[in-house]
Structure formats: structure tokens, C-alpha cells
Amino acid sequence: MQYQAPLNDIKFVLFDVLEGTKLQDLEKYAEATPDLIAAVLEEAGKLAAEVLQPCNKAGDQEGCSYDPETHEVTTPTGFKEAYRQFTEAGWASLDAPVDFGGQGLPHTLKLIVDEMVCSANLSLGMYPGLTHGSISALYAHGSPELQQTYLGKLVSGEWTGTMCLTEPHCGTDLGLIRTKATPLDDGSYELEGTKIWITGGEHDLVDNIVHLVLAKLPGAPDSTKGISLFVVPKFLPDSGERNPVFCGGLEHKMGIKGSATAVMNFEKARGWLVGEPNDGMRSMFTMMNEARLMVGMQGMGVAEMAYQESLAFAMERLQGRSLSGPKNADGPADPIIVHPDVRRMLMRQKALNEGMRALALFIGTQLDLSVAHPEDDVREAADDIVQLLTPVVKSFLTDEGFNNANVGLQVLGGSGFTTDWPLEQLVRDSRITRIYEGTNGIQAMDLVGRKLALKGGRLIGRLFDLLNGYLTENPAAPHHDPLAAAVKALEEGTGWIATNGMQDPEEAGAAATPYLRLTALTVIAWLWSRMAAEAKRQLDAGEGNTPLLQAKLVSAQFYFDKILPEAGCLLADLRSGKASVMGLEDDQWVA
């Protein structure tokens, strides 16, 4: 089936619930009127369905091909033309800086477009997605000379960018990297080393690829405090000379086969320092944090596509009769959507998808406030929420993106297990999202090990102020009592980690994943209460899209009945401590 952008749901959440109409009140986003945003979303939906989706299957079936003699990579059929249309229409520059050719539109809009792109073609979306992170890192930390050299071409999409972090012997523990950078007399550096799992490290979509590379200077500390960041182009911009950074091969992967995941060998390649020496991690985190939000939207995009495919199948597939009597009396059987267990799966997809989208757009609006609001305290509060919930967005949306694809495959039954239907590709493609840009376990550790204590606990305090403020100011809010119970559980879980994690870091580590999930379910419950309240208000006033609003009320009820009760189990999980997690001795694992 052809992808249909969920525009009605997006507009309801963005404009009616999150007051996205007020983005235009910020000077930076004065042009982002609701009419303009709606028009952009309409066109993005068409692009996803008509340009990106048609070459998605070729991306999976053909994959990328590598020539060991030339070290060049060819992308699948249709990718080059689709990428050309994507960039020529300006989609690569949507929220990029205006002073380097970008459109300067809200980050929220970029997140929505990311969802659409990833629903239609996750592999192709990786190329401009990583480039956007390169733009942010160079814009925040690059010298004026580097910005003038690279940003214009990256913003337009004429060049693409990469993140070169991981090496064969180290992933998360970047302090172990061995790539070295030797200073040259002209102020540049020679880089030597090997990087692996480099998304878009080599391909034929553009004329030049700009690598952002972590490396160590001579005499640098042997830890993350000794890491510097360098920009290393495939072709030197001043002379057009080929830089000796070569693809050594492509990874053979479970999914996202249209995305070139490369081994990159730096053979005394010339590079230039970004930011200060030994301060590369701070510069790279600008890129990584943005990438983590993008990966969250990958999970969201897959979840939406899986829902659309499984819903369409369930409405058409005839099998058995309804337990309450035939619904398709003139046919040989009823469509499987009449069966309670099939509806259970579809409702889980729908309620989680709409809740996750609300979470993502909430973070998007907070991100826009953090960079554009004129008042310092508003910017600070918004930034605190973005920092706190970025690992939650990355982890929960990718966990449930994969789960919803898996549930969608189950709806299709045996058909879902075949390559005749797209669900099995969605399952394979989405599995990596829980791993790259920091595994979801690492995200959970970031949340409990760093974010909870950051700024004296101010970040988590901001969140509780939002949640408890809503409950206090809206005593008649839909689902008030179960939301209040979830907030209380999150407060108790936070207190447990603060007490026990301070005494024993392993206790915090054992509690991290259930705590992150508890946080996600609670924040989404708050958003579902807000969505239900707005849906009821519009229905009572005779406004809006009646079927959508009625469905919102049912989906909210499903969320609070069938999904949020997990919060109690998660609290019990984290309170049980580390004993059974850490209890086995080495000789007991295979006793």
C-alpha cells in the first residue's frame, strides 16, 4: 500500500494540544505560520509517498554494492534520483541556519518530516539525517573558516556528512580510540586509523562526503578527555584533490540495506580541528544528541508504517466469523479486524503511536523554545526538559517502533513472515534503531546516571512541576486518578534511585531500563490526558474532525486501561534491586 502521512493526527497534536500555532510568535520563527506549516507537511507527505517509498524495496533487495578496486559504493536503484529530488526541493535545509542557505524553520517541523521520511524509506533517510548532525556540530563549534568552507554545501545537500566514532575495538567506551591526528606545519592534521559502522561513509549520491572524526593528538590524555574532533573531507575543497580516506568494505546487515554502513580507513588523510584540542566529545555530543532525537523519529516512522500496513490487511483479510455474529453476512467470512485479539494488537499500535508522536512533538516544541524564546528562564526550563527526555525519546520510540512492527507482522500471520509483504522488512530495518547512537541500555544509564543528578536535580524537578501542576490545575482532567498514580510511582522510583544509586552505582544500573520506561509511560499518560481533554472540548463545542476526536477518546481509554498499568510493575522491578541481576557467579552461568 502507499504510505499516507497521518496529517490529521499531527495537526491535532501540534496545533490544538501543544499550541504550535504560537511558534510564529517567536521572532526566529515568525514565518512559521500554521498555514505554512500545514503546507509543508502536505508536501512532505507527498514526497514520502511518491518519491521515497517507491525505491524502498529496491534498497532492501539490492542493498549497496562495494567495488574493492576503486573503494567506491553504489546505492540501490532509484536512490540517487530520489535523493536529488529531496535536496533540490529544499528538504535537506528545512531547519538549517539561514545564514548558510537554510530555511530556519522550527525544529518541530523537522522532526515531523523525519517521521514521514522514515516511514517511507528508512535507509534513504539516513543520508540527509546524519548530514544534519554534521551541520549542527560545525555551526556550534567550527571556526568561521570551516563554516564558510563546508556549511553551505552541507545545508543544500550537495555534500553529505558522517559521524566517525566507533573503532573495531571500542564502541561506547570512546576513551579507547586509537585513531591519531598528527599536526602539520600548515595548521592541518594527518589522520591515521580505522573507523567502523560509519553510516553513509561512502556512496554515490553526492560529489563529496565530509567526515567528522574523533581522534587523539600526540600526548593527549588516554581517556575521553584526550579526544579531539576533526573535519576530514573525501575531496579537499580548495584543490579538489582526493583525500586518502577510503572505504574498506561494507557491513553485511540484517536490515537498512540501502544505507551504506562502511569501514573507513584514514591513511594519513588531511583534516582540520573542530573546536578546541582535547574537547572533541563536547563538540561531538552536539551531533549525537541531535542524532538521538532523529533515531527516535526513525522508530516513530516505522511504527506508523507498520500500523498502516497491518490495519489495511486486517480490514481486507477474510477469516472466520465474529464472536458476536457475522459482520459480512454476504461473504464467506468476516474481515479479521472483527476479532478481539486482532483489535487488541491494532489498538496497542494506535494508542502507542499517537502517544509517542505527542511525546516527540512536545520535545520538538520545547527544543524550539530553548533556542528561540526571548526570556532566559523560559529557554532554560525548556532546555532542561529536552536534555532530560532526549534519552527517553530515543529509547522508548525505538523500543516500541520495533515492537509495533513485530505486532504488525503478527496481525498479518503467515503473510507477514514472507517478503511479499513489507512487515518483515520493517521488523529487520527497525531493529538497529535500538542499538546505534548509543544502545537503549546506555540511554537508560545516561538518564539515571547523569540526567537525574544534573544541575542538582533541576531537570527532573522541571518535569514533576509540569506533571503535578497539570494535575493540580485540572482536577477534572480525563483519567486524572491513574495519571496521578503513575506520577506518584515515578516520584517514588526517582527517590529510590537517588537513595540507593548513590550508595551503590550497580543499584542504579539495574534500575535504569525500567526507570526510563516508567518515565516514558508517565509522560505519555500526561499527554494522553491532554489529548483526551482537547478532544472532548472540541466534541462538546461541535468543532473539529468528529471521527478523529471520538477515536482519541477511545484510544486514551485503551492507553490507561491496557498500557499504563505496566507502571506499577516497573516500579516493583526497580525497587527489587540488583540482587537477582548481579547474583550469579562466573561458574554458575552454565552450571
DSSP conformational letter for 420: T
Residues 16-39 pLDDT 10s: 999 999 999 999 999 999 999 999
Where is 305: in which H helix or E strand?
helix 280-316
pLDDT surpasses 90 at 211: yes
Examine residue 210 and state whether it is found in any structural domain, yes or no. no
Give me the residues paired with residue 193 across strands: 266
Nearest by Cα to 395 from 422, 360, 424: 360
pLDDT score of 230: 97
Burial class of residue 313, CB neighbours in 10 A (0-12, 13-18, 19+): buried
pLDDT score of 173: 61
Measuring CA to CA, how many Å separate 265 from each of 65, 71, 93, 183, 195?
A: 18, 10, 30, 19, 7
What percentage of residues in the chain have a pLDDT greater than 90? 93
Sign of the Cα torsion 8, 12, 18, 20 reads positive
pLDDT surpasses 70 at 9: yes
pLDDT score of 224: 79
Give the count of domains, the chain.
Answer: 1
What is the pLDDT averaged over residues 346-375? Answer: 97
Q: What is the mean pLDDT of the chain?
A: 96
Nearest by Cα to 193 from 181, 185, 183: 181
- Range of weakest confidence among 121-125, 281-285, 498-502, 520-524: 281-285
Cell of 526: 500526561
pLDDT score of 287: 79
* Phi, psi for 533 (deg, rounded to 5): -65, -45
Residues 383-408 pLDDT 10s: 999 999 999 999 999 999 999 999 99
Question: Phi-psi region for residue 401, left (φ > 0), alpha (ψ -120 to 50) or beta?
Answer: alpha
Give me the residues paired with residue 167 across strands: 170
d(CA 243, CA 5): 41
Give me the residues paired with residue 230 across strands: 213, 273
Cell of 178: 586509537
pLDDT surpasses 80 at 170: no
Residues 497-555 pLDDT 10s: 999 998 999 999 999 999 999 999 999 999 999 999 999 999 999 999 999 999 999 99
Examine residue 289 and state whether it is found in any structural domain, yes or no. no
Amino acid at position 220, single letter: A
Cell of 579: 540482587
- Enumerate the active-site residues: 437
Cell of 481: 486518578
d(CA 375, CA 388): 20
The band of 300, judged by pLDDT with boundaries at 50, 70 and 90, is: very high
* Phi, psi for 87 (deg, rounded to 5): -80, -40
Nearest by Cα to 308 from 423, 429, 413, 410: 423
Q: Please give the span between the terminal C-alpha atoms of the chain, in angstroms, as a whole number.
A: 51
What is the pLDDT averaged over residues 332-344? Answer: 97
Examine residue 21 and state whether it is found in any structural domain, yes or no. no
pLDDT score of 284: 79
Measuring CA to CA, how many Å separate 250 from each of 75, 246, 394?
A: 12, 12, 26
Examine residue 486 and state whether it is found in any structural domain, yes or no. yes
Domain enclosing residue 545, as ranges: 446-579
pLDDT score of 286: 80
- Range of weakest confidence among 236-240, 277-281, 399-403, 501-505: 277-281
pLDDT score of 175: 58
The band of 217, judged by pLDDT with boundaries at 50, 70 and 90, is: very high
Cell of 367: 527544543
d(CA 10, CA 176): 43
Examine residue 483 and state whether it is found in any structural domain, yes or no. yes
Radius of gyration from C-alpha coordinates of the chain: 24
DSSP conformational letter for 47: H
Examine residue 249 and state whether it is found in any structural domain, yes or no. no
Between strands 208-215 and 228-233, the pairing is: antiparallel
Examine residue 43 and state whether it is found in any structural domain, yes or no. no
Measuring CA to CA, how many Å separate 505 from each of 255, 492, 516?
A: 35, 18, 16
pLDDT surpasses 80 at 174: no
Residues 309-318 pLDDT 10s: 999 999 999 9
Q: What is the dihedral of CA 55, 59, 62, 64, to 10 degrees?
A: 130
In three-state form (DSSP H/G/I as H, E/B as E, the rest C), the secondary structure along 137-198 is HHHHHCCHHHHHHHHHHHHHCCEEEEEECCECCECCCHHHCCCEEEECCCCCEEEEEEEEEE
Neighbouring residues of 327: CB distance < 8 A, sequence distance ≥ 6: 321, 334, 335, 338
pLDDT surpasses 70 at 171: no
Examine residue 515 and state whether it is found in any structural domain, yes or no. yes
Amino acid at position 363, single letter: I
Nearest by Cα to 87 from 116, 128, 58, 48: 128
d(CA 376, CA 387): 16
Residues 418-444 pLDDT 10s: 999 999 999 999 999 999 989 999 999
The band of 177, judged by pLDDT with boundaries at 50, 70 and 90, is: confident
